A = this chain, B = another copy of it.
Amino acid sequence: MQWQLHPEMNPNLFLKDPENSVIGKKVIKNGVGLIRKIGFELFTFKKLAEEIGTTEATIYRYFENKHKLLNYIVCWYFHWLDYQVMFNTHNITGYSTKIKITIDILTWQLDANHVNNYDIAIDDLHEIIVSESSKVYLTKHVTEDNKEELFLPYKKLCYNISELFKAYNPNYKYPKSLSSTMIEMAHYQDFFMTNLPSLTDFGGKGDNASVKDFLENLVFAALAKKD
Q: List residues of A whose CB falls within 8 A of some B CB.
A: 38-39, 41-42, 131-132, 134-135, 137-140, 142-143, 146, 151, 154-155, 158-159, 173-181, 184-185, 188-189, 191-192, 195-196, 198-202, 213-214, 217-218, 221-222, 224
Report how far A174 CA is from B217 CA in the complex, Å.
Answer: 9
Contact A199 B135 (CB under 8 A): no
Given contacts A140-B42, A217-B222, A218-B222, A176 and B199 within 8 Å (CB-CB): yes
Q: Which chain B positions have C-beta within 8 A of A199?
A: 154-155, 158, 176-177, 179-180
Could you say which of B135, B154, B159, B180 contacts A138, with CB atoms under 8 Å apart? B135
Q: Which chain B positions have C-beta within 8 A of A155?
A: 196, 198-199
Number of copies: 2
Nearest B-chain residue to A42, judged by Cβ: B140
Main secondary structure of the interface of A (DSSP, over half): helix
Nearest 9 CB-CB pairings of A with B: A39-B140, A180-B199, A221-B221, A142-B195, A221-B222, A177-B200, A174-B214, A176-B201, A174-B201
Given contacts A159-B198, A221-B222, 20 further A-B pairs with CB under 8 A are: A132-B138, A134-B134, A134-B138, A142-B195, A146-B196, A155-B196, A155-B198, A173-B201, A173-B214, A174-B201, A174-B218, A176-B198, A176-B200, A177-B189, A177-B199, A178-B218, A180-B188, A180-B192, A181-B181, A181-B188
Contact B142 A196 (CB under 8 A): yes
Given contacts A38-B140, A180-B189, A200-B180, A195 and B146 within 8 Å (CB-CB): yes
Q: Which chain B positions have C-beta within 8 A of A174?
A: 201, 214, 217-218
Report how far A137 CA is from B199 CA in the complex, Å.
Answer: 12
Contact B39 A195 (CB under 8 A): no
Q: Which chain B positions have C-beta within 8 A of A213?
A: 173
